[in-house]
């Protein structure tokens, strides 16, 4: 056999790997990269009729307008805080649920809880929001009625008008809505764990509770870490539909100083006024920050062995 160059040898081994990758690459090229020239709107004063080619150039005008807007720091602060809260509460909740479900012996019970817990995912935010707002209202809300019956409060609390409660309400609704659906991935990961690991552990004297932390959790750590990285790369997208609905389509201005995040702001100011370029500029800003966060998170994660690339 003739000596093949290392490159040729490599290609001989890998050629069908590349074959598997090429279709995806092509599709992404056509449907994601070809339209990407639209990003240029952020630097133009885009006019629908003139199109991308003929709209006047605006440089960094929209970016500067955004940075100089009076609410810029409030919005940024809210965005970061809401994302952090979601990371602290909404992120671990599905993992905890998956771990608990794993401890259930009776298959039927497990199935029922699994199915039921993911139902809220299918209720639209419009319906969920309507529900939450109704429950927390002063005139007729079930929460107030319940608390008063239990003599915990004398007068109904105007939950939705208090800045202090808003974040709590937002996070609680989020957790409730997605905990079941998000846990599915972790359940899938758990089902890949070798049962013998558990057997040997209990022979060594570890109880189920210990096993959860010493076996189950570490085994699904790779999945958790990857999702964590992706979540960090999503911090600037702190939320939109949930906040919009809970502030009654942006009407509830009383809590706006805590509820307004980048996306709700852009929706009101940019999109509803057909200020495409402004919305595009803010979107681009968000993406850049997100990418930087992602790279940072990945670098940290790499030390523990997981990495996106």
Within 13 A of 97's CA, how many CA atoms are on the CB side? 26
Measured CA angle at 108 (ends 106, 113), to 5 deg: 100
For 142, 171, 231, 299, the CA distances from 160, given in Å and listed in that order, are 14, 14, 28, 40
Nearest approach, Cβ of residue 294 and another protein (Å): 8
4, 9, 11, 153: residue in contact with another protein (rule CB under 8 A): 11
3-state secondary structure of 44: strand
Contact call for residue 193 and another protein (CB under 8 A): yes
200, 202, 213, 304: residue in contact with another protein (rule CB under 8 A): 202
Residues 82-111 that bind another protein (CB under 8 A): 97, 100-101, 103-105, 109, 111
Site string for another protein, 119-148 (x = CB under 8 A): xx-xxx-xxx-xx-xx--xxxx--------
Nearest approach, Cβ of residue 301 and another protein (Å): 12
Contact call for residue 204 and another protein (CB under 8 A): no
Contact call for residue 39 and another protein (CB under 8 A): yes
Contact call for residue 305 and another protein (CB under 8 A): no
Q: How is residue 104 annotated by DSSP?
A: -
Contact call for residue 184 and another protein (CB under 8 A): yes
Tracing tokens 């809220």 back to the chain, one arrives at: 120
User: How many amino acids of this chain bind another protein (CB under 8 A)?
Assistant: 112
For 36, 176, 248, the CA distances from 172, given in Å and listed in that order, are 37, 6, 17
């Amino acid at each position: 056999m003739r000596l093949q160059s290392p490159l040729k040898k490599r290609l001989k081994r890998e050629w069908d790997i590349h074959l598997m990758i090429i279709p995806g690459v092509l599709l992404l090229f056509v449907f994601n990269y070809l339209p990407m020239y639209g990003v240029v709107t952020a630097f133009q004063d885009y006019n629908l009729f003139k199109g991308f080619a003929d709209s006047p150039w605006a440089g960094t005008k929209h970016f500067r307008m955004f940075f100089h807007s009076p609410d810029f720091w409030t919005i940024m602060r809210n965005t970061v805080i809401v994302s952090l809260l979601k990371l602290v509460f909404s992120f671990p909740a599905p993992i905890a649920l998956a771990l608990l479900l794993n401890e259930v012996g009776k298959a039927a019970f497990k199935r029922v809880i699994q199915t039921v817990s993911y139902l809220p995912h299918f209720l639209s935010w419009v319906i969920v929001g309507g529900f939450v707002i109704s429950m927390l209202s002063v005139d007729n809300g079930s929460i107030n009625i319940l608390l008063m019956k239990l003599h915990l409060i004398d007068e109904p609390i105007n939950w939705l008008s208090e800045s202090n409660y808003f974040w709590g309400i937002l996070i609680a609704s989020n957790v409730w809505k997605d905990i079941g659906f998000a846990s599915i991935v972790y359940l899938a990961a758990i089902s890949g764990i070798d049962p013998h690991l558990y057997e040997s552990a209990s022979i060594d004297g570890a109880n189920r509770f210990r096993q959860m932390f010493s076996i189950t959790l570490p085994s699904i750590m790779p999945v958790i870490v990857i999702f964590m990285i992706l979540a960090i790369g999503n911090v600037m997208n702190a939320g939109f539909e949930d906040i919009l609905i809970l502030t009654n389509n942006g009407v509830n201005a009383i809590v706006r100083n805590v509820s307004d995040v980048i996306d709700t702001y852009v929706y009101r100011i940019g999109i509803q006024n057909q200020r495409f370029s402004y919305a595009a500029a803010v979107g681009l800003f968000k993406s850049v920050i997100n990418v930087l966060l992602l790279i940072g998170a990945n670098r940290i994660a790499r030390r523990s062995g997981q990495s996106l690339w």
